Amino acid sequence: MTTGQRVAQKRKELGLSQEALGERLGVSRQSIYKWESDSALPEVEKLVALSRLFGVSVGWLLGVEEEAAPSGGELTAEQLALVEEIAARYAPKPRLSGRRRTVVKLSAVTAAVCLCLVLWGFYQRLEDLTRNYSYLQAAITQVETGVNSQINGVSGRVEELLREQNAVTADYGVSLRNVNVAGNRAKFTAYAVPKTYVEGMWAAFYAEGGNQVMTQGADHRFEADLYCALEETVTICVDFIYPDETRQTQVLKRYTGLYGQTFPAVRVDYALGFKPVENGTFALVEPRGTREEYGRLDWSPMGIQPGPPEKTPPVAELESLRVGLFRNMKLVDWAVFTVTPGVIEEETAVLTGEQRKALDKLRQNDGGGTKSYQWLNFHFVPQEVPVEAGDVFQVAAVMEDVYGRTAVRSGGAFGLDEGWKELTNLDGDTSNTDPEGWVLE
């Protein structure tokens, strides 16, 4: 099992949601999701906190120990060095406001001047500043080489760990065979050939949230069909089970974005960035025809998408679509779609499936194409929205299909830049359509 799978297993044993676990650890639900999907590794102090909460050792969480022994609360020197090395490689870089970037630049210039003075003292025979600049460039290059060497060292170690984790199979493969949108299920076919084969061994193929298939292989090859719930991230694994009941685990393949691919490719565009913040609020204003006061909604045309299911799962028809402003994933207000002749005859907060079809027909223009109907304009009711440091604002489309499934697709994330007193774009991926954690009412 990977570190993410172990965290997910213990969380579920305690009956905690990702959001509840995040509250206990003082992190966001997105952080828990990234840990459990193995796209990020918990920081050292969070690993210690997890081990205490779950009652297991940090070594077990890291996969160093097979037994979930009671936590001692401390890492060995080797574990600490390894975790800090990997965590430092993937730690997010802090974002700086415009004024802070200016301070950093001034500091860098000051440091460069000091370096020039030191070089001037050591090399008094230099004839002019051009040669001095050459020495400075050489020093900068040396620093960059050293930093790159350290990064490459960490990357090599991470790759080595991955190779060690994937060393139990000689060959394997997974393919997505079928997606049942109505049942929100997916079928996979997987096979694996162990590096070390022992007569009488078994293989267990499984996916989180799906069935487990135990099988004995012919000619050292094991294969099985798996069925599981259609989710944003689906991880297919195999356990090789030997006659002495020892197990070796292999992650075969991780699918991301499967759930979202079964919804229309909606794109939301609304100019939250650079909105001024005064007295702890920013304003949603009455639209007067400017681009900044309207939002726009776009999606790919309806219809059958070409290609095998492995690349393009079927897309469900929508029952309704709304666009909302969210603060920390909690609804602030729903937007209003403006009148669009032939589609929306009066302003509404809910776009129906029939209106979507009408818009699709207009933009297709019976095969001729009409770009003027590519967008739907929307706006928010004028109001003052409170904002504090650390808040994350998103304008997102909330879709419900004819099977009662819900997806949320964000158009980006924005937060308060305290230096400039305005909203600014935040780094991070907002493509996940999983509705978990969003408060929609």
Q: Give the C-alpha distances (Å, rounded to integers) separating 362 from 101, 174, 287, 395, 400.
A: 47, 41, 25, 26, 22
Q: Residues 6 or more apart from 249 whose CB is under 8 A from it?
A: 1, 168, 237, 238, 239, 240
Measured between alpha carbons, how far is 401 from 82 in angstroms, rounded to an integer?
Answer: 46
**Closest C-alpha to 317, from 349, 350, 357:** 357
The beta-carbon contacts of 362-367 under 8 Å, at least 24 apart in sequence, are: 363/301, 364/301
Phi, psi of 359 (to 5 degrees): -65, -40
Instruction: Determine phi and psi for 255, rounding to 5 degrees.
Output: -95, 135
Asked whether the beta carbons of 89 and 158 are under 8 A apart, the reply is yes
Secondary structure tally for the chain: helices H, strands E: 10, 20
Can you give the pLDDT at residue 164? 55
Q: How many CB atoms lie within 10 A of CB 50?
A: 23
| Concatenated DSSP letters of 60-71 | HHHTS-SS-PPP
pLDDT tens string, the chain, 441 residues long: the values are 788 889 999 989 998 988 889 888 989 988 888 888 888 888 888 888 898 898 888 888 887 776 655 544 455 555 555 555 544 544 444 444 455 556 556 666 676 666 656 555 655 554 554 444 444 444 444 545 454 555 455 444 554 555 555 579 999 999 999 999 999 999 999 999 999 899 999 999 998 767 789 998 778 899 999 999 989 899 999 999 999 999 999 999 999 888 998 998 888 888 888 899 999 999 998 877 655 567 777 765 443 344 444 557 888 999 999 999 999 999 999 999 988 888 889 999 999 989 888 877 766 554 444 444 457 889 999 999 999 999 999 999 999 999 999 999 998 899 999 999 999 998 776 677 889 999 998
As beta bridge partners, residue 424 has 415
User: Exposed, middle or buried, 332 (CB in 10 Å: 0-12/13-18/19+)?
Assistant: middle
CB 39 within 8 A of CB 29: no
Q: What is the pLDDT of residue 383?
A: 94
Angle at 430 between CA 424 and CA 433, to 5 degrees: 145
Q: Angle CA(47)–CA(48)–CA(52) in degrees, nearest 5? A: 115
Strands 185-194 and 169-180: antiparallel
